[in-house]
Structure 1
Amino acid sequence: MPQTPTFWQIATDRSVTMRALRIALIVGTVIALINHGDRMMLGGMDAIAWLKCALTFLVPYSVSTYSSVMAVRDRLQSLEDA
């Protein structure tokens, strides 16, 4: 019986990371514009605001990665049970 991949192995798989990056770019941009768009347009962004804006992209990346890992694990488990 093959060994089930670890969370980290699945999370760093190219298909998982590429999907998470695409989602993070789309959702992160929307969230960043909602939270910081007015300051961006007015030129009122300081270093802390830009850092917070950049960190905004980590939330959808993390959620997407976690969701993908759980889906892959569930799929592998159902294949093992069959």
Structure 2
Amino acid sequence: KSSHLVIEGLMTIAPYSPEDPSVARKCFDQLAELRQSLQESHGVSLDELSMGMSDDLFHAIAAGSTMIRVGSALFGSRK
């Protein structure tokens, strides 16, 4: 345990699975459940839940994401 370390939340990127959106949905739901469990078991506030990218942002938002990465939605895909 470090008194100088402040954890503000959790972050994940779902496995790439464009043919099966349930993969991302399951990943995001699991992280949201983990955050809830950690908050309850350790009495901490984990305000940030960073998950989701351009292709799965709606699933991330539905699971409670507070931050998403939308680079390709704004700038187009990489070549």
Q: TM-score, normalised by structure 2?
A: 0.36
Greater helix content: 1
Bigger-Rg structure (1/2): 1
> RCO greater where, 1 or 2, for CA within 8 Å and sep 6 or more?
1
Q: Which structure carries more strand by proportion?
A: 2
Q: How does the TM-score come out when normalised to structure 1?
A: 0.35
